[in-house]
Structures are given as C-alpha cells and as structure tokens.
Chain A
Amino acid sequence: MVGTSLYLTIILAPLIASVIVGIFGVKLGKKPSHTLTILGVLISTVCSYIVLYQVQLEHITYNGPLYTWLTVGSQTFSVGILIDTLTSIMLVVVTSVSLMVHIYTIGYMAEEDGYERFFSYISLFTFMMIILVMSNNFMQLFFGWEGVGLVSYLLIGFYYKRESAIFANLKAFLINRIGDLGFLLGIGLVFAYCGSLNYVDVFAKVSSLTQVMLPCTDWNIITVMCILLFIGAMGKSAQFPLHVWLPDSMEGPTPISALIHAATMVTAGIFMVARLSPMFNLSETALSVIIYAGGINCFFLGILGIIQTDIKRVVAYSTLSQLGYMAVALGCGSYSVAIFHLMTHAFFKGLLFLAAGSVILAMHHEQDMRKMGGLAKYMPITYITMLLGSLALAGIPPFAGFFSKDMIITSAVVAYQHGLPGGAFAVFTVYASVFVTALYSFRLIFMTFHGKERFRDIHDDHSHHGHDEHHGGHTNPKESPFVVTLPLILMAIPSVIIGWLGLKLFVGGAILDGSVFNISWITQRFAEETITPINMIIDSFKEPPVYLALAGIIVAFVFHKVDGLSQKFVNIIKPVYNLLDKKYYMDDLYIKLFAPFGRGIGKFLWTIGDMVIIDGLIVNGSAKVVEWYSRVFRKLQSGYVNSYATFMVLGVIILLTFCTSLIFS
C-alpha cells in the first residue's frame, strides 16, 4: 500500500471505529467495542510505522490536497496531507501511545459505566490528533486543534455527574478558547499577508515580509503573527498564564491523562511552533516571548509539583514543567530538540501516568499519596516501570529523558552565548528545573512505593463505617491485571532506549530531513562537533545537570527518611509555601476576578443597556402608544383567531392603498 490510500487508512481507521462504537457501542457490548477500536488504532499504528519506514529509508514524502473545502474568488482552501519526517515521527508517537492507552483502558475502565463511550472518545481523539499532525495547512491544523480540544473537553467531563469534573472541563475549554482567539487572529494575519494558508506557500512568502509593519504601529508583522500563533500554543500546551486548566484536567480518567494531557494533545502547541519554524526563525522577539513563557512553566510551575499530595497532580505539574522545557527549546531556536523531548516525554510521561493509574486501581481509586506507601513489594511491575519512567524524567543517563533534556540545556547555553534576549533566563530555568524534576519525581516514588504502608491506617479508620470487604485492611494491594501491566512494560522500553536511538535524527547532520529548520546559531553548534550517545554520557559527568538530578533524588530521600522534616521545612518557608499552595493565585485570578468581571459587565449591559435604556426609554415611549392603540384594538377583537387574521389582512390592504395613493400623488 502506498501513497494517499496508506495515509487515508491512518486517518480513517480510528474514525470509523469511533463512529461505529459511538453509535452502536452499547448494543455491541464491551468486548466488541474495545476490539473494534483497538483494531482501528492498531491499523493506524502499523501504517504509521510503514510511513516512518518509507520516509526514513526510502525518502518518500508527500504534500497534496484531498478535497476542496471552500473556494472564494481565486483562493482555495483544501483539506490536504503533508508527509515528511516530522509528520512521520509524530504519527508514530501518537498512534503508539494511543494503542497502549487503548489496551490499558480495558483493564482500567473495566468496572466503569460508559465503557463503550470512553473507547469511542479516545479513538475519535486519535483521529483528530492524526488530522492535526498530518495537515499541510493552517485551516486544517485549526480543525484538528479544536477537535482534540473537544474530545479533551468530553473526556475531562467523562464523569459528568461529578461537579468538579464538569467545572474542570468547562474551564479547560474556555481557557483554551482564549488561546484559540490568538491562534485564529494569527492565522488571519498569515492569510492576509501571505495570501494562502498552505505551509509551503506561506514559508515561501513570509521571508519577504521582514520589513513589513502592522498598519498604524511599528510592530513587525512577522513578530505579531508569531506571537499570536504562540498564544494559541500557550492555550493548548498549557504555557503560563494559560496553564491553569491542565492540573484540573486530572478530573478525567487516568488513561486520558496519559494520552491527551501528557503525551499528545498538550504537545500540539510545541509541534505547531516546530512545524512553523521558518516563520519563527524570522522573529527573535517572538522567540524571546516563548523562552519566558516556557521558562516560567519549566521552573516556577515545576516547583508546584513538589508540594502536591495527589499522585496524578504531581505528574500533571511535572507535565507543565516538561512542556516548559520544550518551549524553552523552541524559544532558543532549537526546534528539532523540542520535538526530540516531545517524543521521549510522550513515552516516559505516558508511562508515568499509566503507572500512577495502576497504583490508583490497586488503592481503590485513592489518589492521595499520604495514604499510600510501601507498595513496591505488592506491585513489582508497576514499581519497576514507574521507576524507569522517573529516571527518564529526571534525566539520569542513559535513560531517554537524559538525551533530550541535555540537548535542551546545550541549546539554552548556545542561545545565551549568542545573546538572545531571555537567554540567561532560559539557562537558569533549565538548570534549576533539573533539580526540581528529580526532587518531585523521587518524592513520588518514595511516598508511593517505599516506607510505611499508610493505607492500612486509613482503612482501619474507615473500618467502622461499613462492611465493604474490599476496603478492609485485611487484603493486600494487588498488582494490576495483564492488560494494564503490558502497556506499562511496552512503554518502559522506549522510555529507556528511545533517546539513544533517536538522538542522531534530531541533532545529526540532516536534522529531521529538512522538515524543521533550526535557527542558524543552533545549526552551527550542532555541526561543530559530532554528538553521539556515548560522548554525551561521558561528557555529562563533567557538567552540573547530572549532579543536580542526583542531588534532587538525595534530597527527596532525606525528606522521606527523616520523619517530620518536611513539616519543619514548610514551617520555615511558610510565606513561600502559601504562595505555592495557592498556585501563585493564578486560579483566583480567573475564577474570582475575570469570570465575575465578565458576568458583571453582562449583567450591567442587560439590565441597564437593554432593559432601562433601550426598552425603558426608547421602546417605552412607543409602548405607551401601543397601550392606547390596544384599547381601540380590544374593541375589535372578539377572541376568535379569524378576526385577528382579518384585522391583519385589513391592515395590509390599508397600507397598500396608502402606498398606491402616494404613488399617484
């Protein structure tokens, strides 16, 4: 199978499965539903690997339209497909993680209502994500962009009876819409100045715009375009200050936290900027903006991970921080490295979420780490895979995260040396965050898998509440079923080796085969020396990051071993702790300031504008006339519809007579 039919298969297989299961799922039952959707995603996955093979080894790329979406004048928007190295890598990442999550879901959601609906949604998500990465134009990118947002909305609110879940999904949708407004305006500007929305045409045109300013301002048009587009990325990829929805999205079932809110959807913004690298390269101002947003995410939001007690929220803040790393890489002009980290992160973060889900299953949907501990011996597979994932996340050589993170640090240093504004901030945050990352990752490992088995105390407390056997302290936690542990194992493998294998593709000579264009200084630096995995590992011991990571692990260990130390420490830094506990008051800003402000204006406009001024003053005058009129009118009406109608027809006739007389005059 070659060419478009292969590509169409990748797109349509999950869609068809999703639609069938969405409509007939309940009638089909659980097993056929998950078989069908898994089959759909499996077909996509296999085809994606074929595409990767073709692109990498046979150098078959493709860029062409599928059908005309709309034509206005001489301009046409088409739905199309772009296949190059970047697309093929994204396809493999998306479909592989999706396949793992599909399998995992069989075990995780086994007891839940809406089992079929869940499978339909995650297949639909896979379809939308494939559309997003395969797109060859902005319009379709936006379609996929909003499509994944929709499914994210549906899945965060999967437990639609739970108030916190439906609050979180509305919040996620609206915050994303703020970003989308920027994105849409960016697309509009691109179209206005480049006359097309196809990537190829835009890239060809955009370099001629370097001296063009936005009318009535002295803002460079490319800078404005790039910043607006990046605002879109800030929403989807949860960059400060539009990050507030991501921690709340943990209200959704854990498989989707892994698939949507860690591995794929939230990296769409990163993908978008990398895809548009020829544009962003033309605006250093835009790159600096990205560095600042990313740096804040990377360090300041990463810190919040340290004080979380909910196992999923630790991983969620970790995601914010890692997205920050990717953004910093983008801001340094090192797009290929951002995609490298995107790929390694997809596997190890997906793994961490799935493992966290496995723990949550064993704990009977308890997510508070203070009520866990000592689980390592009960759940060896979950423990080992999660440990591998954490090592990868912390950037310990030779695990996957080490390579991508080390390249980001190198990129930041290069950008700083080059004098890019924000370069110093980038260097500080990427270094400091290495420590923070290791600290919260291993705090999670220690609190969950080591030490005292605190879940027993909790269960004893609860024992007098009822006779539920499952919740009694008598049974030991069990390792999750095979459908859950298999994906963990399969995700742990790339978490260990993918960095080693992938390195050459992202920093080697032909970086991503020309689908992504690193900025000149980065390209220069990468060309200066041969970067091999072995070199990197050896060199790493001469540099601070590895020691920062180890320090993080040691600090986590000390706090774990010494009872009450963390409490004492919290007391010392009370004001700082409060600030962190309130998440820098960013939630309050939206919920207590912006939202009531909007509602307040709405209420004011409605009551004063509509009711008092328009209806009260203007219409009321006429209404008084109407009242007088209706008194006459009432005499004419006899209560029968016929006479109303007669009256109306009469009125029209009178009007016509009136007009006739006017004409003759």
Chain B
Amino acid sequence: MHYLLSLTVWTPIIAGVVVLFAGKNDSLARLISLIGALIATVLSLIVFIIFDASISGLQFVENIPWITSLHINYAVGVDGISMPFVFLNNFITLLVIIAGFKVIKFKVALYNSMFLLMTGFISGAFCATDAILFYVFFEAMLIPMYLIIGVWGSSNRVYAAIKFFLYTLLGSLLMLIALIYLYNVSGKTFNIFAYYHTQLAMVPQILIFIAFFFSFAVKVPMWPVHTWLPDAHPEAPTGGSMVLAAITLKIGGYGFFRFILPIVPDASRTLSGLMITLSLIAIVYIGLVAIVQKDMKKLVAYSSISHMGFVTLGCFMFVGNSLNTWAMQGAVVQMISHGFVSAAMFMCIGVMYDRVHSRNVADYGGVASKMPIFATFYMLFAMANSGLPGTSGFVGEFMVILGAVQVNLMYAFLAGLTLILGAGYTLWMYKRTIFGEINNKHVDEMSDVNSHEFIVLFLLAVSVLVMGIYPELFIAKMQLGVKDVIALAMQSKL
C-alpha cells in the first residue's frame, strides 16, 4: 500500500521496456503490453477507490531523496485534482492497446512500448510533487509521442512531429527557468507545495505566470498557441490521437491548477481578464473554424481546443478576490469528460479510417447502413461532444456556464454559443459520414466493429454515460482538491 503510487507509475514503464524484448514476436508483445496496461489500470483504479475523499491534501505520499546536493527528491503523492487523471491516463492507454491489437502490424513491440512508457511518464507527471521530478516526466513524455507520430503517422508526419516537439519544448524551457527562480527564492527546495507559501512581489509573479503560461497554454492548447494540434492529430495514428487528446492536453490544464493559480495568485487575478478573453476566443473562434473543416481529425482537433477553452475559462472566474467554485470544479470535470469523449471521437474516426483509409468527410456517407452498431456508439459520442445532458460532455460545460453567469452574463453567453457550434460541427460531420446514401464503393465494403473495437467503444460509452448520469462519483473525490486550490488562489502573496 505504501508504494502503491510508485507501482502505478512504474508498472507501465517496466512493461514498456520488457515489451521491447519481445522483438519480432508480435503476439507476445501484444500480450505483455495488455497485461502491463491492465495491471496499471487496476492499480490506478485501486488508488481511485481507496483515495479518501474526506481529507484534503496529498495522499499516497512517498518521499525519497534523489539528488541530495540539489535537494531534488523522488516525491510523489496525489490529491483530489491529480488522482482522477492517473486513472484516466491508464484507462485510455489500456483502450489504445486493445484498439491496436489487430490494426497495428508495423513494429508492434515498439508501438506498444511507446504507449506504455508514455503512460508511465504521464502518471509520473501527475503524481510528482517535486518540481524537477515533474519536469523530467513532463519532458520525457514528449519523446514517445514524438516517435508515435513520427513512425506510425501519415504522410506529413515528420513535419507534424517536429512542430509538435518544438512547440511544446519552447514552452517548457521557460517553465524550467521559472522553477529555478522559485528554487532560489523559496529556500532551496523543489517541493511544489513549498512554493504555495512563498511570498512573491507582483513583477516576479507576472514573469513566472508568463513562463508557466507558455508551457501549459501550449499543451492545453489555448488560442493563439494552438496551431500545432490540428497538424499533429491528422498525422498521428488513432492511438496517438486518443492519448494526445485525452491525456496530454490535460497536463496543460493540470498545470493551471497545480502551478499557476496557487504559486502566483496575484498575477492570476491581475491577468484573469486576459485569460478569460483567450478562453472565450478559443470557444467561439475555434468553434467556428471547426465548422468548416473537411478532415475529420482536424475537425475533432479543433473541437478539442474549443472544449478545453472551458477548462481555462473555469480556472479564472474571479469576482474581485474570490474564485467561483462552480466554474473551477466544472473545469476539472470538463477535463475528465473531455478525456473520455475525445478519445471516443478519435477511436470512431480510427475505426472508419482503418476500413476506408480516408479522413475526408466527403469520402464517406451511408456508413450507418453498413455498420449499425458502430453508428449507434458514434451517435452517443457525437452527442456527448455536443454536450447533451446525460452524457459527461454536459456536466463540465454546464458547471462552468453556471459559474460564468454568476460572474458576468456575457461570458456565459459567449461560452454558451458552444451549444450551437458544438452541435453544428459534430452533427454536420455525423450526418455527412454516417447518414445518407452510400456513394463510395469502399464504404459499401465496410464491416461492422470487431470484438476489440467493440470492447473499446463499449467501455468508453459506459464511462461517458456514468459520468453524465452520476457525476458525483468523480466530483466527490475531487471536491477537496478543488477547494484547496481555490483557497490558495484567493490568498495574496504580495
């Protein structure tokens, strides 16, 4: 029990290394990675279940000196905000590995290894309570994703991979500088939670804000540093897109909760107007851009940016000195929900792509006639993406909008436009691909989902529905974590 968190983080990493030894034996590689991912998911589920929702602060804490001369520790622990993401992360990877069972035939061992390594690194980033440990995991997870896009991607993959890598690397360099500054002013410690009580003047706060902002805003991604995402998604294989949309973006949102709001609260308040503006631009501008996309993956990529706009919007709903609880809680819920929904959307596109080898909306039409089971699942996810009540997609947006109304009706109105835009682009795509007459002979040859695809879609459907019908299941676990962040964001460090 004591090392449960480390076990969760390192199981997939170890499995990822072991898989490499399977070499050319593809079925062995698949088996090992499935077992690895399954164990990791079960471990993270155990963490989820035994996590005590009635205590605030960190749980499952481990602290081992690592580089003593620099006071760097191997320190992990989870609170109400990070814990659900560890589960989400492992869960999605498990699905990715199941989904790739029949589809991936090129360098199977390496493919699975990359996903397992990435899961471990991402879990590590969520669990780390030491800034350098966080940074190492944060950077390390770029490598597998870079390779996933670069090796298993489509035609323009190298360009997309480099764009992705440089975009995100640029931001993280600034973060590193900020961390070093914080190390120096907080009495030589890399303990993130020590920074929460470090007094900082306004100017350094603003500078630190900017440094963190660049590294996390790129990940989210916020407008206007979002253009890498619509390029990366179409090039990434299905699994890559699922993890990218479901998990990698969440690290960006998580950064706002773990670093920006508690460490530089005064700067956050000062710049909240700007953040709200950028978030609303993301929701409306990107929503409109999504409507005119012809590439399905680009469309869902833009849709992701628009939905993530709710996360950043929810983070900065300041009224005077206080932060709106509804919006904040909604932002976390939105992240979890978007993890399920975006993974499901990319899975659905992947299922279609594997059969027709096109991402173009215009190449489809009439899929429902050939794949009724798939069409039903896809309908559910499309509705979740449109924010239909009863699905997870509604809960977060609803909470953020409820919070926004309390702050300013105009914010709520602009954010609420997603009701129309989101339904517009999602259902337009659905109509053009799934409904209608069959015009393409490749569509005519499509067969309905196989057992692996069915399992993945089914598990995602259950998640989307459970979270939509009984969100308290997640919210109860996260409540105190959110409350802590709000309390910290409302203090003054000046």
Residues of A within 8 A of B (CB): 67-73, 139, 142-143, 145-147, 150, 154, 157, 160-161, 163, 166-167, 170, 173-174, 177-178, 180-181, 184-185, 187-189, 191-192, 214-215, 598-599, 601-603, 605-606, 609-610, 614-615, 618-619, 622-623, 626, 630, 641, 644-645, 648-649, 652, 655-656, 659-660, 662-663
Q: Can you name 10 A-B residue pairings with CB atoms under 8 Å?
A: A71-B475, A146-B389, A154-B379, A161-B436, A166-B431, A181-B417, A599-B292, A602-B289, A609-B289, A622-B170
Chain A at the B interface: mostly helix, strand, loop or mixed? helix
Q: Which residue of B lies closest to A224 (CB)?
A: B409
**Whole-angstrom distance between the Cβ of A317 and the nearest chain B Cβ:** 26
Evaluate contact between A161 and B435: CB separation under 8 angstroms: yes
B413 in the interface (beta carbon within 8 A): yes
Cα of A184 to Cα of B476 in the assembled complex, Å: 24
Known contacts A70-B471, A161-B435: A170-B395 contact under CB 8 Å? no
Q: Within the assembled complex, what's the spacing in Å between the Cα atoms of A163 and B394?
A: 29
Q: Is B289 in contact with A615, judged by CB distance below 8 angstroms?
A: no
List residues of chain A with CB within 8 A of the CB of B383: 150
A214 touches B409 (CB 8 A): yes
B459 contacts chain A at the CB level, 8 A cutoff: no
CA separation between A181 and B413, bound complex, in Å? 8
Q: Is the CB of B70 within 8 A of A660?
A: yes
Q: Is B201 an interface residue (CB 8 A)?
A: no
Contact yes or no, B402 A188, CB < 8 A: yes
Task: For B166, list chain A residues within 8 Å (CB).
Answer: 622, 626
Q: Write out the residue numbers on chain A whose beta carbons fall within 8 Å of the beta carbon of B388.
A: 146-147, 150
Hey, which chain B residues are within 8 Å of A142, CB to CB? 389
Question: Once the chains bind, are B470 and A67 in contact (CB under 8 Å)?
Answer: yes
One of B70, B177, B288 near A605 (C-beta < 8 A) = B288
From A146, A154, A192, A598, give the contact of B288 (CB < 8 A): A598
A296–B368 Cα gap in the complex (Å)?
Answer: 40
Min CB distance B239 to A, Å, is: 17
* Complex alpha-carbon distance, A50 and B390, angstroms: 29
Q: Is B191 an interface residue (CB 8 A)?
A: no
In B343-359, which residues have CB < 8 Å from any A CB?
Answer: none
* Chain B interface extent, by class: 35 or more
From residue A550, how far is it (CB to closest CB) to chain B in Å?
45
Whether B389 contacts A188 by the Cβ 8 Å rule is no
State whether B435 touches A160 (Cβ < 8 A): yes
Known pairs A161-B366, A599-B292; A180 contacts B419 (CB<8 A)? yes
- How many angstroms between the C-alpha atoms of A214 and B406 in the bound complex? 11
Whole-angstrom distance between the Cβ of A587 and the nearest chain B Cβ:
17
B417-447 toward A: CB 8 Å interface, digit per residue (1/0)? 1011001100110010011110000000000
Partner among B142, B369, B435 whose Cβ is within 8 Å of the Cβ of A648: B142
> Min CB distance, A157 to chain B, in Å?
6
Which B residues lie at the A interface, using CB under 8 A?
A: 70, 107, 110, 136, 139-140, 142-143, 146-147, 150-151, 162-163, 166, 170, 173, 176-177, 179-180, 183-184, 224, 227, 230, 285, 288-293, 325-326, 329, 366, 368-369, 379, 383, 388-390, 394-395, 398-399, 401-402, 404-406, 408-409, 412-413, 416-417, 419-420, 423-424, 427-428, 431, 434-437, 470-472, 475-476, 479, 483
Given contacts A163-B436, A185-B409, A602-B292, 10 further A-B contacts (CB under 8 A): A68-B472, A150-B383, A160-B368, A185-B405, A188-B409, A189-B405, A606-B289, A614-B227, A645-B143, A655-B173
- Neighbouring B residues of A630 by C-beta, 8 Å: 162
| List of A residues within 8 angstroms of B290 by Cβ | 602
Interface SS, B side: helix
Residues of the B chain whose Cβ atoms lie less than 8 Å from the Cβ of A652: 136, 139-140, 143
How far apart are the CA atoms of A644 and B416 in the complex, in Å? Answer: 44
- Do residues B475 and A70 form an inter-chain contact, with CB atoms below 8 A? yes
Q: Are A599 and B291 in contact (CB under 8 A)?
A: yes
Instruction: Specify which chain A residues have a CB less than 8 angstroms from the CB of B142 in the assembled complex.
Output: 648
In whole angstroms, how far apart are the Cα atoms of A154 and B389 in the complex?
16
Contact A177 B176 (CB under 8 A): no
Given A184-B401, A602-B291, A614-B224, CB of A69 within 8 Å of CB of B471: yes
Please, how many angstroms separate the alpha-carbon atoms of A542 and B413 in the complex? 51
Closest chain B residue to A630, Cβ basis:
B162
Inter-chain contacts of B416 with A (CB < 8 A): 181, 184-185
Question: B183 contacts which chain A residues (CB < 8 A)?
Answer: 663
Q: Which residue on A lies nearest to B483, using beta carbons?
A: A73
Q: How far is the CB of B489 from chain A (nearest CB, A)?
A: 15
Residues of B within 8 A of A143 (CB): 389-390
Please report the C-alpha to C-alpha distance between residue A495 and residue B426 in the assembled complex, in whole angstroms. Answer: 42
**Contact in complex: A641, B110 (CB < 8 Å):** yes
Q: Smallest distance from the beta carbon of A404 to chain B beta carbons, Å?
A: 32
- Checking A154, A167, A174 against B420 with a beta-carbon cut-off of 8 angstroms, the contacting residue is A174
User: Which residues of B have CB within 8 Å of A649?
Assistant: 143
Nearest neighbor of B142 in chain A, beta-carbon distance:
A648
Docked Cα-Cα span, A69 to B392, in Å, equals 12
Residues of A contacting B427 in the complex (Cβ-Cβ under 8 angstroms)? 170, 173-174
When chains A and B are docked, how far (Å) is the Cα of A95 from the Cα of B316?
46
Query: Is B390 a contact of A147 with CB atoms below 8 Å?
Result: yes
Q: Provide the residues of chain B in CB contact with A163, threshold 8 Å.
A: 436-437
In the bound complex, what is the Cα–Cα distance between A656 and B180 (angstroms)? 11
Inter-chain contact B291/A72, CB cutoff 8 Å: no
Q: Give, as a whole number of angstroms, the nearest-CB distance from A225 to chain B.
A: 11
> A645 vs B114: C-alpha distance in the bound complex, in angstroms?
11
How far is the CB of B298 from the nearest CB of chain A, in Å? 10
Known: A72-B326, A645-B147. A177 touches B423 (CB 8 A): yes
CB atoms of A610 and B289 under 8 A apart: yes
Residues of B within 8 A of A610 (CB): 227, 230, 289
Interface centre among A143, A184, A609 (most CB of B within 10 A): A184
Contact assessment for A189 and B409 in the assembled complex, using a CB-CB cutoff below 8 Å? yes
User: Which of B398, B420, B436 lies in contact with A166, CB distance below 8 A?
Assistant: B436
With A72-B326, A622-B166: A602-B143 Cβ-Cβ less than 8 Å: no
User: Residue on A with the closest CB to B434?
Assistant: A160
A143 to B394, CA, bound (A): 10
Closest beta carbon of chain B to A229's beta carbon, Å = 13
Rounded to whole Å, the gap between the CB of A27 and the closest CB of chain B is 12
The answer to whether B424 touches A174, judged by C-beta atoms less than 8 angstroms apart, is yes
Task: Tell whether A609 pairs with B395 under 8 Å between CB atoms, given A72-B329, A641-B110.
Answer: no
Q: Which of A139, A187, A188 has the most CB of B within 10 A?
A: A188
**What separation, in Å, do the CA atoms of A320 and B313 have in the docked complex?**
39
- Name the distance in Å between B175's Cβ and chain A's nearest Cβ: 11
A662 to B174, CA, bound (A): 13
Residues of A within 8 A of B423 (CB): 173-174, 177
Known contacts A72-B325, A191-B402, A663-B180; is A641 also within 8 Å of B436 by CB? no
A641 and B227 contacting across the interface, CB-CB below 8 Å:
no
Instruction: Determine which residue in B70, B402, B428, B434 has the highest number of CB atoms from chain A within 10 A of its CB, and name it.
Output: B402
**Closest approach, in angstroms, between the C-beta of A249 and any C-beta of chain B?**
15
The 5 closest A-B pairs by CB, nearest first: A188-B405, A602-B288, A143-B389, A602-B292, A166-B435
Are B292 and A161 closer than 8 Å at their CB atoms?
no
Tell me the complex Cα distance, A143–B227, Å: 35
Chain A residues, CB < 8 A from B402: 187-188, 191-192
Q: A188-B404, A652-B140 in contact; A615/B419 too (CB < 8 A)?
A: no
Complex alpha-carbon distance, A145 and B399, angstroms: 18
Interface centre among B136, B183, B289 (most CB of A within 10 A): B289
The residue that A181 contacts in the complex, of B139, B151, B366, B419, with Cβ under 8 A, is B419
A161, B365: Cα distance in complex, Å: 9
Chain A nearest CB from B389 CB (Å) reads 4
Q: Most chain-B Cβ atoms within 10 A of its Cβ — which of A72, A157, A215, A656?
A: A72
Given contacts A181-B419, A641-B110, A645-B143, contact A601 B288 (CB under 8 A): yes
Q: A393 → chain B, closest Cβ, in Å?
A: 34
Chain A residues whose CB sits within 8 angstroms of the CB of B143 once the complex forms = 645, 648-649, 652
Which of B293, B366, B436, B479 contacts A72 (CB under 8 A)?
B479
**Bound CA span A187–B401, Å:** 10
Contacts A160-B435, A649-B143 given; does A72 touch B389 at CB 8 Å = no
A72 touches B292 (CB 8 A): no
